[in-house]
Structures are given as C-alpha cells and as structure tokens.
C-alpha cells in the first residue's frame, strides 16, 4: 500500500466514513490528516458542475461550460486524435472549475436503438468504442485529473435500470460488453471506473466479485478506484468486499456505521477496508495536484471553435442524389423546420451542459454564403399536428431552388432514465416532408438526434445530412458542410435498420419485469445484419464524401495489412478505411465479419497514399468458455478492407496458428447461433448457451415489497396507500406532460418511478434513512398507521442526533 503512514493514523470510523461522499458531489475530507475533499462532476461531452452548493440534491443547472458534440456524434469521426483533443479540452475546463474527477466517458454498447441514452455512448462495436474511449481518457488525464469510465457493465437500457437483471452468457459478456472497458483501462489507463445500477447474472454489478475482482483487477490489472453510480449501492459491505471504494452520494453516515459493524462482527476484515482507503487516497492526492499546477481559466472562443471542428468532422452525409450538395453558388434556399431556429444539440439528464455560447442556424447564414429566402418552422416541436404551419412552409418552399429541412427528435425523447417508444421521427415532421415534396422535390434533410431512426421516407429527400447532436457549435458546422467549405468525412458508428422489427434484440428489449435476456448473444448491430443477411437502410461504417476514394494493392503479413487509397475525385478529403476479419472455420460460431482496426487519412485530390493497419492482440482472439480465457482458433481468416461493413473494397486471406484449445460448443445444440439467425432463439437453446437455467423473468407479486423493488411496483402493493402512491405518480407524470413540463415529467419517471425503495435513502443524501424506508414499506404493504408512526419516530431520532 502507498499510504500506510496515513492509514495507520486513521480511526476505524474515519476509514469507514472515507468510503462514502461528503455530500452529493464531494468526497469526505479529514482535516487533521491533511486529506481534502475532491470534486466529481458529470462530463461526457462537457462539464456539468452544478452552480448551487454540492449538498443540494437533484440535476441542477451547471456552471457554463463548452458543450462538445456527444459521444455518439464524435464516434462518427473515427478519429482518435480528435477524441484525444476533445478529452484535453474537457480536462482543461475541469481544472478551471476545480473538478478532480470527470464522470465519463460512457462506453456501453448500443445493443438496441431504443436505448434512451444511446446519444451518450460511442458505438455498437466494442473495438471502436474502446479505442475512442481510450483517446478521450488520455486527453482528460493529461491534466492530472481523473476520467471515470462508465457504466460497468451491461447497462444497455434505461427502463428499470436500477433493478433489472441482465442475463448474458460469458463469451458475449467478454467479447461484446467488456472489450471496450478493457481497452479503456489498458490503453487509456483510466484512474476510475463507475459501476452500473443493474444486476449482472443475478448480482448487482457493484457487488459482483467476478466483474470487479476476477476481471477488472486480476485480469486487467486495474489499480484505480471503483465508484458507484449515484445511489447505486445496494449492500455497502458486499460492495466493499467486491472492490468498490467510493459510494456516492453521501448517506449521512448510515453506511459508514454498517462498515464499522461488519468489521466488529467479523464479516469484513479491516485489511480489506485499508486497501480500499489506500486506493481512494491515491485518487485524492494525485488529482489534487491538478488544481495546483494548471491554469484556472480557459479560452471560451477557442473552445467553441474546437467544438465546431469536432462537429464538422463527425457529421455524416447519408445521401447526395444528383450531387445536390454542396449547394451551388447563387441557389436560393428555404429553411424549414423548428430545429433550424432552436438547435437540438445535446441529450438530456445528468450530461446536460449549460453552454458558454450557442449557435443557431438562422443566426449563421450571413457568413455561410448561402442565400436564404426565409424561414418557416413547419411543425410543432413536440409532435402536435398543425396544417397551417405545413401550408406556410409549402408556400415558402415553392419560391426556393432548394429546401433545407431540419427534422429530428426533441429533447425529451432521448433522455437518461427513459427508453424511446419507437424508432420513428414524429409523424407531424414526416407529414411536412411529404407535403413539401409535392411542391418542391429538391429537399436536403438535416437530422438532429443522437441515435438511429427509421427512414421509410428517405426517397423524398435528394440530400441527407445527419449531424447527430453536434454540441453548441453544431449549427454552424452543418452550414459549412452544406456550403462546401467543409468536405464531410463522418461515417456511421452504428447500423441503421430498415425498421425496428429487424433488430436482433427486438423480442428481448427492454426485457420483462425482473430480467432482460441477451438471447442474441454476439450478434448485435452489423454482426447480426451481415451474418443473417438482413438488409439495412445504412450500414455500419457508411458515409459519403464530396469526392471519391479508390482502394488497391492489398498486402497482408502476420503483423498487419497494407494497401493504397487514391482520391480519385476533384476535392481534398478524409477517408476512413476499416479492417474486418472473418474466420473461415465453422467450428466456433462467429459473425461473418468483425471490426479489428481502422484509420482516417487526409488525401488531396489525385493523390495516392499507402496505408497500413496493424494487427493487435484482439484481432484473432475469441473467449473460450471451457478454458475460461482468450484463445485463437487455428484457421484461414479472410482479411477485408472496407469503406463500410457492407462495402468491402479489398480482400485477402491469412492462415493463423491457433492455441489448440478444446471446442467450447456442441454445434447441434446451438443451431441459431451457428447460423446467426438469432431473433427467435428458444428458451432451451439460450439455456444451453448459458449453461444454466434462466431466472424468473417476472416480479413475485406474492411477496411484500422490499428494498430492491421499484416504486413503480406499488401498483401491486397489498396496502391501499401503496396503490395510491402509484396512481399519484402516474397522474402527476401525465399532468406535467399535459401542461408542457415534459422535462420535469421525464425527471420524475427517471428519479422516482423506476427507483428501488432503497434509493429513497441512497439518493437523498441522508434526508431519509433506511429505517424510514422500513416504515414506508410497512405503509405500502398494508400497515399504514404502524408504518407512519415508525417513520415519525425515526425522523425524531434523526433530528436529535443532529
């Protein structure tokens, strides 16, 4: 241990208190030993340090900070240097706000396009997500503060996220859901990691020894600190035994007492606590140096320009029929769509940034050189139909050479704590598109949203740009691409299915009441569509340019692949070349191709560049469930270089020697997995893959409600009070939506409806303690007066202790 001399001077009570927050955002300080508090703040794409005191609970407005494009956006750049630059600027702003730990990046897989938080995650592919995350972390930590990569692990939905049990086989866990974290830890050297709320195969991730000890610490060699998600601690002592150092936020000493009691009764050895204290002290002392050695100011305008550069390189050109883009000089455009006036530039929830500057499309036209003849909103932002607005927009469109139509998803559709209801853009926007097409077919669509959407209307637009959520300078970035000042170079980091029903997890998202079954195994995103031969709207890795690139002269050796790219067009541009491998053996089930490398290169018009993508330790490996380790299958491997997963330009083969491991599967018992057609996997076949029975998927309504039951489950409560609580919440949610308070309604659903009962204590910073929760449970379970009296007595006791 590094800090034996300090730990030896700490009392048992001080060590226990150090394991929980001082308040909502700070760690505990111990003045007599020179241990100061450090500050943790949200910040995957901008610092959200709340402007009010750190002891105030809730998602409060942050101090102004640069709102960079979200992770889902930057992933489309496929540019690790750009990711590191974003990280550096985030780190610089964290220093300016005296933030020691930045809670990000988020790297959960996009298992399903309806996850309401997909805007905050990089990709459906673990290799791309891991590499991007590592680049962010290197940039953030170059300022001596800590990144905290999240949410570890298998947190792939927002619905019931604090109670759901993710049921997933070990190979899928390792290859699909942990690989990005492995890269973030090993290559990014993240100083901290945040556990997720959910259970993994029956155990809360924060108490999961296999996850936190066997894999994170023993296999990956992680030496940093494990931090709970806010209110994500179930059993504090079990968490400590598994390897969790810091519980956030404070519980006002309640869980400190549990740690002390566990040591006094022998449940917990004090040496385990000492090791946890040592690791957390290291985080405190090393990140405190940042505030002493770095500047306390940042250049607001410079950071805004960087945000614009990132947005420009991350925007994806999806369609460009008849080369409608870039807009020809002198073309008159009609600007239509509410998102043009009020930009949709970030997601909602804990990552909500208060921007330093905010560009809007209508304010940026003069410098763009594009001639606008006027603007009409065309639709109501939150979905209400309005024929008068459509008619006015059509009248304007008739006068234009080209219509710029800004459509997308509103702020409350994509939000933390909620999953989307469907993959559609609202009907009122599509009605507008069809009406505009009748009067002027020269339409360029600009989409603002952080995730995949269905596009059955795509034939009604000549051009289509997807800006995702481009941050505070995203509106200006889009105009620079439309005008031709910037050649688009983004490519999709996720697949766009033709319809939601085509997705591999369609039948198993967001799961049932108690569990979500990952029956599709490895086959998420392009791994499924390519293997099962399902057509998509736009494939993974797809994106157009204003120039053309040709590939030639592939050469493969044991250490990598070399090839040529020629810019055969008349404009300089950047191309993203992607390396996929496909094992030619059928002894172990695998997807037809897997991303194993990529590179982004700038090439002038007419120029040819020689490009090399090296192999690494992840190129040919698979996880063998019999040997419980990574192995290499001896086989011929197809080496593919593509402009997307569906556009393979060059192919070769390479024989790779294997590790001679036993075959992990009986092919006859897993026909769906060997065919890749996994949408309708039977329970029996899934259990064969798991090697055990699948747990009960529904809540047990025969038992009284307990600590880990959701507040939403009060609808089944035995006591009338419990059912009244449920219906009151439902009514309040409906009423808030009805009067236009959609964000507040969403916050209610996120922070109350889906919260487990223990969260009432864990998330209120000590205002409510667990004995009070006991009283509340008595009330909802049918003992109204006894429970109310119990709550009152405990509240009186709490006041006396203060």
Domains of the chain, with CATH numbers?
33-245+284-293 (3.20.20.300), 301-517 (3.40.50.1700), 547-664 (2.60.40.10), 711-801 (no CATH)
Q: Are 225 and 192 in contact (CB under 8 A)?
A: yes
d(CA 441, CA 251): 60
Q: Are 132 and 148 in contact (CB under 8 A)?
A: no
* pLDDT value of position 330: 87
Q: Are 736 and 748 in contact (CB under 8 A)?
A: yes
User: Hey, how many other C-beta atoms are within 10 angstroms of the C-beta on 559?
Assistant: 11
* pLDDT value of position 417: 86
d(CA 486, CA 545): 10
Cis peptide before 774, with omega less than 30 degrees from 0? no
d(CA 175, CA 109): 11
Cα–Cα distance list, 782 to 710, 725, 755, 788 (Å): 17, 13, 20, 11
702-757 pLDDT, tens digit per residue, is 999 999 999 999 999 999 999 999 999 999 988 988 888 887 888 887 778 889 99
* Nearest partner of 135 among 66, 178, 77, judged by Cα: 77
* pLDDT value of position 562: 98
Cα–Cα distance list, 336 to 379, 432, 733 (Å): 9, 10, 32
d(CA 117, CA 633): 36
387 is written with which tokens? 């024929």
Distance of CA 363 to the CA centre of its chain: 31
Q: Are 529 and 564 in contact (CB under 8 A)?
A: no
Strands of the 101-103 sheet, one edge to the other: 40-42, 101-103, 146-152, 192-195, 225-227
Percent of the chain as helix, strand, coil, to the nearest 5: 35, 20, 45
d(CA 419, CA 413): 8
* pLDDT value of position 296: 67
234 is written with which tokens? 């179930």
* Nearest partner of 753 among 789, 713, 718, 781, judged by Cα: 713
Q: Are strands 608-614 and 560-567 parallel, antiparallel or unpaired?
A: antiparallel
Structure letter (DSSP) for residue 179: H
Position of tokens 């009409």? 376
β-bridge partners, 106: 150
Q: Are 276 and 228 in contact (CB under 8 A)?
A: no
| Residues contacting 90, CB < 8 A, separation 6+ | 43, 45, 46, 47, 68, 102, 136, 139, 140
d(CA 780, CA 791): 13
Helix (H, G, I), strand (E, B) or coil at 392: helix
Q: Are 350 and 48 in contact (CB under 8 A)?
A: yes
d(CA 48, CA 60): 9
Q: Are 417 and 746 in contact (CB under 8 A)?
A: yes
Cα–Cα distance list, 687 to 205, 292, 519, 664, 694 (Å): 22, 55, 9, 15, 6
What is the tally of helices (H) and strands (E) in the chain?
25, 26
Range list of H helices, 349-485: 365-368, 387-397, 427-439, 474-483
Q: Are 634 and 660 in contact (CB under 8 A)?
A: yes
Cα–Cα distance list, 342 to 357, 476, 487 (Å): 13, 13, 25
d(CA 625, CA 687): 14
Ranges of the chain with pLDDT below 70: 53-60, 290-296, 802
List residues with catalytic annotation: 229
* Nearest partner of 341 among 210, 475, 483, 234, judged by Cα: 475
| Ramachandran angles phi, psi of 577, nearest 5° | -95, 135
β-bridge partners, 640: 580, 651
| Ramachandran angles phi, psi of 649, nearest 5° | -95, -35
Q: Are strands 146-152 and 192-195 parallel, antiparallel or unpaired?
A: parallel
453 is written with which tokens? 């959407």
């Amino acid at each position: 241990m590094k800090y034996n001399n300090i730990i030896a001077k700490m009392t048992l009570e001080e060590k226990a208190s150090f394991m929980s927050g001082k308040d909502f955002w700070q760690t505990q300080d111990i003045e007599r030993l020179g241990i100061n508090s450090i500050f943790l703040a949200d910040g995957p794409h901008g610092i959200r340090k709340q402007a009010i005191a750190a002891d105030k609970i809730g998602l409060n407005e942050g101090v102004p900070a640069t709102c960079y494009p979200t992770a889902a956006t930057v992933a489309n750049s496929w540019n690790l240097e750009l990711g590191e630059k974003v990280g550096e600027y985030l780190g610089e702003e964290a220093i300016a706000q005296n933030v020691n730990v930045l809670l990000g990046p988020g790297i959960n897989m996009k298992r399903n396009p309806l996850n309401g938080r997909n805007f905050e995650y990089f990709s459906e592919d673990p290799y791309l997500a891991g590499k991007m995350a590592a680049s962010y972390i290197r940039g953030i930590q170059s300022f001596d503060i800590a990144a905290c990569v999240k949410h570890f692990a298998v947190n792939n939905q927002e619905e019931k996220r604090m109670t759901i049990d993710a049921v997933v086989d070990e190979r899928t866990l390792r290859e699909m859901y942990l690989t990005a974290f492995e890269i973030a830890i090993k290559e990014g050297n993240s100083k901290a990691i945040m556990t997720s709320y959910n259970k993994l195969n029956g155990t809360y991730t924060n108490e999961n020894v296999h996850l936190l000890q066997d894999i994170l610490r023993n296999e990956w060699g992680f030496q940093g600190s494990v931090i709970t998600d806010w209110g994500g601690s179930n059993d504090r002592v079990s968490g400590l035994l598994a390897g969790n150092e810091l519980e956030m936020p404070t519980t006002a000493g309640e869980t400190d007492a549990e740690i002390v009691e566990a040591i006094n009764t022998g449940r917990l050895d004090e040496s385990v606590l000492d090791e946890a204290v040592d690791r957390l002290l290291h985080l405190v002392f090393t990140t405190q140096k940042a505030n002493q050695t770095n500047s306390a100011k940042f250049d607001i305008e410079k950071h805004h320009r960087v945000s614009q550069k990132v947005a420009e390189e991350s925007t994806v050109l999806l369609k460009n029929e008849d080369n409608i883009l870039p807009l020809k000089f002198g073309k008159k455009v009609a600007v239509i769509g509410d998102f043009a006036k009020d930009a949709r530039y970030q997601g909602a929830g804990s990552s909500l940034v208060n921007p330093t500057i905010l560009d809007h499309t209508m304010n940026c036209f003069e410098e763009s050189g594009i001639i606008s003849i006027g603007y009409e909103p065309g639709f109501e932002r939150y979905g209400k139909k309005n024929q008068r607005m459509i008619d006015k927009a059509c009248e304007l469109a008739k006068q234009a050479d080209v219509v710029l139509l800004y459509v997308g998803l509103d702020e409350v559709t994509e939000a933390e704590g909620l999953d989307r209801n469907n993959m559609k853009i609202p009907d009122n926007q599509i009605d507008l598109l069809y009406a505009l097409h009748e009067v002027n077919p020269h339409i360029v669509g600009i989409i603002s949203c952080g995730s995949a959407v269905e596009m059955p209307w795509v034939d009604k637009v000549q051009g289509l740009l997807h800006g995702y959520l481009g941050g505070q300078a995203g509106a200006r970035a889009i105009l620079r691409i439309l005008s031709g000042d910037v050649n688009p170079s983004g490519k999709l980091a996720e697949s766009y299915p033709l319809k939601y029903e085509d997705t591999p997890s369609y039948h198993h998202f967001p799961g049932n009441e108690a569990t979500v079954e990952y029956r599709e195994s490895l086959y998420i995103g392009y791994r499924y569509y390519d293997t099962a031969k399902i057509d998509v709207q736009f494939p993974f890795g797809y994106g157009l340019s204003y120039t053309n690139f040709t590939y030639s002269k592939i050469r493969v050796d044991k250490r990598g692949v070399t090839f040529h790219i020629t810019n055969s067009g008349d404009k300089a541009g950047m191309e993203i070349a992607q390396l996929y491998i496909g094992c030619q053996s059928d002894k172990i089930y695998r997807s037809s191709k897997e991303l194993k490398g990529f590179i982004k290169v700038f090439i002038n018009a007419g120029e040819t560049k020689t490009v090399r993508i090296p192999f690494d330790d992840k190129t040919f490996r698979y996880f063998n469930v019999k040997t419980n380790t990574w192995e290499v299958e001896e086989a011929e491997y197809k080496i593919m270089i593509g402009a997307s997963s569906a556009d393979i330009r060059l192919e070769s083969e390479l024989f790779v020697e294997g590790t001679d491991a036993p075959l992990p599967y009986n092919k006859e018992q897993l026909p769906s997995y060997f065919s890749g057609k996994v949408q309708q996997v039977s329970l029996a076949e899934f259990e064969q893959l798991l090697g055990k029975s699948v747990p009960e998927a529904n809540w047990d309504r025969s038992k009284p409600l307990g600590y880990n039951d959701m507040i939403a489950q009060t609808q089944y409560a035995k006591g009338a009070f419990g059912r009244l609580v449920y219906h009151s919440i439902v009514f309040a949610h409906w009423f808030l939506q009805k009067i236009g308070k959609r964000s507040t309604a969403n916050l209610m659903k996120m922070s109350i409806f889906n919260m487990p009962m223990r969260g009432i204590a864990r998330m209120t910073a000590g205002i409510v303690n667990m004995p009070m929760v006991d009283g509340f449970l008595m009330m909802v379970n049918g003992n109204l007066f006894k429970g109310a009296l119990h709550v009152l007595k405990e509240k009186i006791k709490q006041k006396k202790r203060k």
